[in-house]
Amino acid sequence: MGDILKMRAKKRSNQPKSEKKKHLSGKDESARLYLEKIEEKLDYYKQVVKSSNEAIIIQDFKGIVKAWNRAAKHIYGFSEKEMLGKSILKIISKRERSKARKNIMAIKSGKPSFRVRQIRRTKSGKEIFVNITYSPIYEKEEIIEIGTTEEDISELKKAIEDLKKTNASIETRVEKRTAELKENEEKYRQLFNNIADAIFIADPKTRKMVDCNKSAEKLIGFSRDKILSMKADQLHPPDMREQTMKGFKRQAKGKIKMVFSEVLASNKKRIPVAINAKTVRILGKGYLQGIFRDITLQKESEEKLKESYEKLKELDLMKTEFLSMTSHELKTPLTPMRAQIQRMISRELSKEEQKKGLEMVLRNEVRLERLINEVLEISRIESKRLVLSKQLVSPREIIKETITTMDALAKDKKIKIELNLTDLTQKMLIDKYRIGEVLINILDNAIKHSGCTEIKIKAYKKGNQAFICIKDNGKGILKEDIPHLFEHFYQAKKLRGTGAGAGLGLSICKAIVEAHEGKMWVNQKEGKGVEFCLSFPFKTKKIKRPVSLAGEVEI
């Protein structure tokens, strides 16, 4: 870029002195002042961009490099001398070159600024990931060249460290003394505005804002005029200002690389940002420049990672408790079985004693088998491998089959089962065997443990939901037990030590109901027994082909 400026300066110096005088003689004082003002603005934007550490490259439509700044050398390893006049393909990976040509053609055809991610190659041959913003450069309303701002994001591919800020550094091509200076000012303003990060510039003495780019307006939702009426402190929420100012002082001393704070948007929303603040000199005067990067997504990712970590800790604890409880429950039936077998081996027993001993072993074997099956079912539930074989079937049919199964046990206990079925003749898509298991489990608990004399089963349809409720008139459940009824291995206090089971039945029932997109809950009034209720979406859409038990669909 320096060579381009020198060539243009040389061209102007070769003009005959008579032409120079003739050119200047027609200028009055106001024109001279206007020209100086334009030059100052141009130098201003040059210095703003130069203070950044983003790579900025200018190339023509053939990909020939026209300008190459220090940041570009830092990223790619090539000096300005090595790159000026050379093809941009020198730093582009072979598999990315066709994309790069398409991007150049897109700018040439009039496409506005856009951002892409490409793989590029350094002088050492290393491939790096780069974020590139392509922007058109105009001269008299005609696109003449392409400007790119480029950021090495290789480290961000490995971790969330998107905290480094990039400042663009570019030297302008100085055009003709009047019209071309104004064109160049607009070009640098475009580059300044196209930087993805928000840039705020303030007077160090008054702390009043003196400039900002489009990204700054977008970040906090205020217009440029509104921002320039503010002081730097006002960008931050009142409760963050003191902490942020202390951070800037530590950053100035080199103790930290980034200041993490928040900005207060026009809609009162607090936006988390990472700030790289420094003092820059523009036309010999020092200014405070802050580059703000919105880290909302990064913060959200950190929160999600934290939540996931906490959830994993909770699951690990649950797994430990589950294994501990399972070990205990498996030992319970094994201990008396072992003792009885040792007794039968160690001495002779009468036939009656042998019979009683074998019956006890058989009871505990049945209990052990049931426990193993329940543990396996819980394992399938926990690993999301619970399977359903849904068919079109009437809930009325499932309920009647359940009562047939449990009728003998109820009669032995002299318990009356009463049915109240309303408007459930229509078939619905459901796994009849799984729902049958749920109803049998609830009825079995009521018959064996509630001390009731009557069980009422009510089924009905309401809206698009099917409801089944099973209520007994027994002694009920302790209030303190109700919140824990559906937990693994939980037994109501009055059933503990009675051989009632391992406390897995209701948790399995609830999982089966929820696999049907349904709900299961318990109602109880003091002294009026217990009522278990189920609800399911009343789905009637037929599946294309029956699903057999050998090929069940995983839920």
pLDDT at 176: 53
pLDDT in tens, 328-359: 556 556 666 777 777 778 777 787 877 877 87
What pLDDT does residue 64 have? 93
The helix/strand/coil state of 159 is: coil
Torsion of CA 353, 354, 356, 357, to 10 degrees: 110
Domains along the chain? 1-194 (3.30.450.20), 197-294 (3.30.450.20), 301-382 (1.10.287.130), 387-554 (3.30.565.10)
| Cα separation, 46 vs 39, whole angstroms | 10
DSSP 170-211: ------STTHHHHHHHHHHHHHHHH-SSEEEEE-TTT-BEEE
Nearest CA among 495, 487, 488, 481 for reference residue 323: 488
User: What's the average model confidence in pLDDT over 362-389?
Assistant: 68
282 vs 530 pLDDT, higher one:
530
- Residue 480 has phi, psi (to 5 degrees) of -70, -20
- pLDDT bin (cut points 50, 70, 90) of residue 70 is confident
Of 117 and 21, the structure prediction assigns the larger pLDDT to 117
Residue-level pLDDT at 431: 86
69, 171 Cβ separation under 8 angstroms:
yes
C-alpha to C-alpha distance for 65 and 72, rounded to whole angstroms? 12
How buried is 16 (Cβ within 10 angstroms: 0-12 exposed, 13-18 middle, 19+ buried)? exposed
| pLDDT score of 371 more than 70 | no
3-state secondary structure of 154: coil
Cβ-count burial of 69 within 10 angstroms (0-12 exposed, 13-18 middle, 19+ buried)? Answer: buried
Buried b / exposed e along 452-481 (16+ C-beta atoms within 10 A):
beebbbbbebeeeebbbbbbbbbebbeeeb
Give the pLDDT confidence of 501-528 residue by residue, as tens digits: 556 778 888 888 888 889 999 988 766 7
* 307 pLDDT higher than 70: yes
The tens digit of pLDDT for each residue in 418-449 reads 888 876 778 888 888 888 888 988 888 888 88
Assess whether pLDDT exceeds 60 at residue 16: no
* Tens digit of each residue's pLDDT (9 = 90 or more) over 313-333: 766 665 665 555 556 556 556
> How far apart, in whole angstroms, are the C-alpha atoms of residue 318 and residue 310?
12
Residues of the chain with pLDDT > 70, as a percent, come to: 72
Calpha distance 501→441 (Å, rounded): 11
Lowest-pLDDT choice from 77-86, 123-132, 152-161, 216-225: 152-161
Per DSSP, the residues of 324-347 read: HHHHHHHHHHHHHHHHHHHHHHHS
Residue spans of beta strands (DSSP E) within 295-413: 387-388, 391-393
* pLDDT tens-digit readout, 149-199: 888 887 776 665 545 443 444 444 434 555 555 665 566 666 777 788 888
Sign of CA dihedral 449, 452, 456, 462: negative
Lowest mean pLDDT among 174-178, 252-256, 268-272, 409-413: 174-178
- CA gap 4, 67 in Å, rounded: 8
d(CA 462, CA 135): 62
Amino acid 29: pLDDT: 77
What integer is the mean pLDDT of 534-540? 86
> Which of 397, 340, 396 lies closest to 365, judged by CA?
340
> Which residue's structure tokens are 């700044």?
69
Q: Decide: pTM greater than 0.85.
A: no
Q: Which residues pair with 213 in a beta bridge?
A: none
Span 78-108, pLDDT tens digits = 998 999 999 999 998 888 889 989 998 998 8
Q: Indicate the burial class of 500 (C-beta count within 10 angstroms; 0-12, 13-18, 19 or more).
A: middle
Give dist(CA 340, CA 355) in Å, integer.
11
Under 8 Å between Cβ of 298 and 332: no
Quote the pLDDT of residue 329: 56
